[in-house]
Structure 1
């Protein structure tokens, strides 16, 4: 389900975000104002900023856990009893302290700017992640129960999917949007720096392909180790990483070194994600209020220190943010992006899509526009209602969810057409 959503919905969604960002040369809030001259769409940009803060609030806690385990790998502090150790350090003052350290590293990189900070850091970190993962994956093939791990990871369980379709669908959709960084405005912000002669379809496809490759490669490391040294799969999430894998390193002759390398990989990946999240509200403050980047970064560091503290000290708040709230916000955000490009930008969006694109991509421009204006946002609304109702304790039928999604999608399109009557497109350069 995850693979299908990344390729079938994620790539078209990435292209919609790219179109908004490159055509406007602005952050998510400024983009909607510049492109159409209408402040009503600023609400969607505001949703992006809220989503970014929510993401940072819980994911910085995860980054803190990873940093702590990287440091503790050198001493084997979690080797004796990984489950008890993680339960003792997952929330509280120490978790908050490590969260601040990770946020501080992220803020310093973002403070340096897009080219000197973000681009330079990711040029070093991303190849490093790939190389370390390849090394770990090759090493994992030699472990005693690696074949069982591969079978569990790569085999398809149709019966489980049938019996748990809605929960699997919601989890897969949320994970797809999260890993591709769409729905929060990250890709709108980054696309504002893309040159006009770049092919947006190629870039979107490359990002999705690399994202999937890294994710699959990570699985080829994780599951052989879980089956070889932790007795099989755990509860997933933090349990798999900080209990199952941590337990695996305790059984290895060079466990301290292997553990340090593994958590270094995960730490680098976490920081690159946090950088992209923080850049959204920073770009908003810099672009819209002409605030110095350093000042904007420090201010947001203070805000996220407060919001993040609730996640660092409370497991219930963390679970609410990580498992429900962020997925719903990302789904709403991407739905809005698609409707905006298809029905507000319309031909202008198609034009931006084709700029720099090859012959094949250009032939797909019109089908892409109408797909992101109908099929894909309806699917996202289906998952949104499914997740929302499951969160409230209801398990609705597929028929009810389809009806809700279709009615909402139709109402959105009708509202857009009504609100856009008489509004003329605003050229981004003229607005400058």
Structure 2
């Protein structure tokens, strides 16, 4: 069996992890989850969740990955807890489940880059989305997105993933800053910043039960937690890397991109509609495309340029996350069975493509896949990881997180305490509220 790959540089790992985190969760979901759940009230809870729950949880996944130095499924066996291998398997399957519909959205993004350039949706953005989001064309673009993802993963960790994300992540940041500055200059954007940045705590108190599960699950989704991605990426790390420093930087950069996305999208909606319109507040799969496209359509030629740039950023972000999810399954097969990496990557891409055809054929399926992932799969997966790290592997986890740091004993102790107490409680409450929400209104497309 060939020697296992590693990251060429620490920066390569950070950018790859940020690339995994910075994806459709930030650019597709975050602005419209924000709109649907009260603007700054949602942002406030999301920020708390990202740093108080997301950061300790991502460090837990890093500990498992680096300590085991193997894929997310076999990591628990190598750590001498084979009964917990099921946790890695759940993470892998959750990632594949998400990628199956995520790729469909990636296909929509490709279509809207082209349609922005031609102005194809300018006459009727809502009707245009309905025409192109389902059916054979959507299936074809879903296949193109998956094939592109597989090509990058096939080249391996250093030559494929690391090289791609070194280009992608800085591009996302630069382009988003430019778009946010442009949105700031538009007449009528002022009220958007109050809605987006000034929390209404009365609204939060009255809607706590609906905001919290979405905000915490958004943190999981946007940080690529519970999918095996961060365990897998950390497995390519050396012992001299500081997990707390790297994890903190990744969470900060990921959160910054999500906030930047909101600073682009929400001002655009206010400029066009004077408030957040129903299409955005609905928070459905079509919200990004219909709501923003209506703005671009009214900008004429400038809208074409702006549309290409905006959807170009979304495509880069989508690819950077998709490669991490495909890498989880690919690394498992390559590590365990020594199969050829390109063949494995394309094999899984084909299977994911087949599953995703349901979401490409009918958007109701996509909504169901997404609801189940947000409300159940991600919280379950993260909950099991937190239990394992905090209450099963605790002392060894502390030893691992100290590596690559000067001292670090106080931080390690505080981190383990957080994992064992409020992080565990927060994830459990999120799962409970999510399951309750699903049970109250099951989004089943075939009934």
Q: TM-score of the superposition, structure 1-length normalised?
A: 0.88
Cα deviation, 1:162-198, whole Å, max 9, x if unaligned, reads: 2221211111111100000111111000000112111
Question: What is the SS of the residue equivalent to 1:210?
Answer: helix
Root mean square deviation, CA, Å: 1.5
Partner of 2:397: 349
1:94 to partner: Cα distance? 1.1
Partner of 2:196: 153
Partner of 2:363: 315
Note the 1:155-234 alignment, pairs <5 A. 155-233=198-276, 234=280
**In 2, distance between residues paired with 1:56 and 1:178?**
12
Question: What is the SS of the residue equivalent to 1:222?
Answer: helix
Q: Is the 8 A contact 2:121 2:293 kept in 1?
A: yes
Partner of 2:434: 387
Matched, 1:27 2:74: no
Partner of 2:423: 376
**In 2, distance between residues paired with 1:166 and 1:286?**
43
Matched, 1:137 2:180: yes
**In 1, distance between residues paired with 2:286 and 2:274?**
13
**In 1, distance between residues paired with 2:422 and 2:296?**
46
**Structure 1 residue corresponding to 2:376, chosen from 314, 317, 328:** 328
1:223 to partner: Cα distance? 1.2
**In 1, distance between residues paired with 2:425 and 2:199?**
26
Cα deviation, 1:228-285, whole Å, max 9, x if unaligned, reads: 1244312335444211111111122421111101110111001101111111111111
Q: Is the 8 A contact 1:61 1:96 kept in 2?
A: yes
Question: Structure 1 regions of 5+ residues with no counterpart?
Answer: 395-432
**In 1, distance between residues paired with 2:343 and 2:118?**
38
**In 2, distance between residues paired with 1:371 and 1:224?**
37
Question: What is the SS of the residue equivalent to 2:251?
Answer: helix
Q: Is the 8 A contact 1:199 1:358 kept in 2?
A: no
**In 1, distance between residues paired with 2:275 and 2:124?**
17
**In 1, distance between residues paired with 2:174 and 2:413?**
39
**In 1, distance between residues paired with 2:150 and 2:286?**
28
1:315 to partner: Cα distance? 2.3
**In 1, distance between residues paired with 2:184 and 2:364?**
38
**Structure 1 residue corresponding to 2:352, chosen from 287, 300, 304:** 304
Matched, 1:244 2:291: yes
Q: TM-score of the superposition, structure 2-length normalised?
A: 0.85
**Structure 2 residue corresponding to 1:77, chosen from 106, 114, 120:** 120
Q: Bigger CA drift: 232-241 or 131-140?
A: 232-241
**In 2, distance between residues paired with 1:100 and 1:376?**
38
**In 2, distance between residues paired with 1:337 and 1:358?**
26
Partner of 2:49: 5
Of structures 1 and 2, the larger Rg is shown by 1
Q: Is the 8 A contact 1:79 1:247 kept in 2?
A: yes
1:343 to partner: Cα distance? 2.3
Question: What is the SS of the residue equivalent to 2:388?
Answer: helix
Q: Is the 8 A contact 1:249 1:258 kept in 2?
A: yes
Cα deviation, 1:105-127, whole Å, max 9, x if unaligned, reads: 11100011011001100100111
**In 2, distance between residues paired with 1:375 and 1:54?**
28
**Structure 1 residue corresponding to 2:146, chosen from 103, 125, 142:** 103
**In 2, distance between residues paired with 1:247 and 1:325?**
29
Q: Is the 8 A contact 1:54 1:326 kept in 2?
A: no
1:323 to partner: Cα distance? 2.1
**Structure 2 residue corresponding to 1:57, chosen from 100, 104, 129:** 100
Question: Structure 2 regions of 5+ residues with no counterpart?
Answer: 1-44, 442-447
**In 2, distance between residues paired with 1:160 and 1:346?**
39
Q: Is the 8 A contact 2:98 2:373 kept in 1?
A: no
